[in-house]
Structure 1
Amino acid sequence: MGHDTEIFRHTISVLVDNEFGVLARVVGLFSGRGYNIESLTVAKVDDQDNLSRITIVTSGTLMVIEQIKAQLNRLVPVHKISDLTVEGPSVEREMALVKVICNGEKRVEALRMADIFRARAIDTTETSFIFEVTGVRDKVKAFIALMEPLGSAEVCRTGVVAIRRGTETI
């Protein structure tokens, strides 16, 4: 497969004004052009300058990724864009809450798996657990998959947050 047709996964961090409609404009840019969003997280990161950080995990050909970055750059409320996939080493994390309803041996096994994955039981009843698991996307997906046969009833995931390593900042 050539680079012009090969699909790549990129994590893009966007620093924007924290104002009404900005997130809708960013999402609209993606949906209007048929670009895929695998994960999107947003939160206010600077009270003084009233800025939010949007972390978008997207996929496409290298040409599509470049188009996405160029079009994001043209949006007025966008201050800075950082493609964490290509701009040097970064750290990515995702968090999930996983509700598992089980009894007996399955309960023991769920606790054992949680221990292996360093997941925390943050709520427990006689017949259920809610586990919190944090890590790279694949670790979170693996934990969720292992909980399914044990009685996984509900999953809530945050999406990816990411930051560059070292002294460079967005």
Structure 2
Amino acid sequence: MKHTLSVLVEDESGALSRISGLFARRGFNIESLAVGPAEKNGMSRLTMVVEGDDRTLQQMTKQLDKLINVLGVIDLSTVPAVERELMLLKVSAPPRQRGEILELVQVFRARVVDVADDALTLEVVGDPGKLVALEQLLEPYGILEIARTGKVALERASGVNTEFLKVTASEKRVPA
């Protein structure tokens, strides 16, 4: 199972190295890693996506909590959370196909951030599934380059579990 961990750390040199080293020593791959300043000066928030069973992740969380500079660890996979990722995507867009591509891009609420004679550069923000879906739909046009940020996430202050709401809504649409 994939887990999204939010790790609050003191903003000091070597903190990221110690955290990534902990995972490397135990043979864990970090699928996605995003780091940036947190809500207070001198603190940073790391958002990591890692794969593992609940028991193993519980051990890793305890190990992270013991590291110098780590102020707190939350497994956002177990609580309602807001998750987003940014993708920049350069797609081949000759004039005859540009209209089709622009219509498709609107459905995903992506923005055109650069236009060239035969290419468009798009910016799309959303959950990772949305990004993959747009990428698959644009593949036939010819994807020239992709850059993704990795997932960032925060626990929902409202406590509302939108994943539960999606399942509930889809169940209501299906006749019994």
2:53 corresponds to 1:31: no
Q: TM-score, normalised by structure 1?
A: 0.88
CA distance in 2, matches of 1:107, 1:20: 46
2:92 corresponds to 1:101: yes
Q: Secondary structure at the match of 2:38?
A: strand
Superposed displacement of residue 99, structure 1: 0.4
CA distance in 1, matches of 2:104, 2:155: 30
Q: What letter matches 2:75 in structure 1?
A: D
Q: What letter matches 1:90 in structure 2?
A: A
Q: What letter matches 2:55 in structure 1?
A: M
Q: What letter matches 2:63 in structure 1?
A: Q
2:42 corresponds to 1:44: no
Q: Secondary structure at the match of 2:150?
A: coil
Superposed displacement of residue 47, structure 1: 4.9
Superposed displacement of residue 102, structure 1: 2.3
1:105-120 → structure 2 map (5 Å cutoff): 105-120=96-111
Q: What letter matches 2:116 in structure 1?
A: T
CA-based RMSD of the aligned residues comes to 1.4
CA distance in 1, matches of 2:38, 2:54: 29
1:68-83 → structure 2 map (5 Å cutoff): 68-83=60-75
Q: What letter matches 2:3 in structure 1?
A: H
Aligned counterpart in structure 2 of residue 141 of structure 1, from 111, 117, 132: 132
Q: Secondary structure at the match of 1:118?
A: coil
Name the counterpart of 1:13: 6
2:80 corresponds to 1:89: yes
Structure having the larger proportion of residues in strand:
1
Structure 2's unaligned 5+ residue stretches are 160-176
Q: Secondary structure at the match of 1:85?
A: helix
Superposed displacement of residue 84, structure 1: 0.9
CA distance in 2, matches of 1:97, 1:11: 22
CA distance in 2, matches of 1:126, 1:105: 11
Compared CA separation, residues 111 and 167, structure 1 to 2 (3 A): closer
Structure having the larger proportion of residues in helix:
2
2:76 corresponds to 1:56: no
2:137 corresponds to 1:131: no
Matched-pair contact (CA < 8 Å) for 2:95–2:117:
no
Q: Secondary structure at the match of 1:26?
A: helix
User: Where do 4+ consecutive residues of structure 1 move more than 2 Å?
Assistant: none
Aligned length: 159
Compared CA separation, residues 112 and 17, structure 1 to 2 (3 A): same
Q: Secondary structure at the match of 2:77?
A: coil
Matched-pair contact (CA < 8 Å) for 2:8–2:73:
yes
Q: Deviation per CA, 1:57-96, whole angstroms, max 9, x where unpaired?
A: 111111211121111111011001111111x211100010
Q: What letter matches 1:106 in structure 2?
A: Q
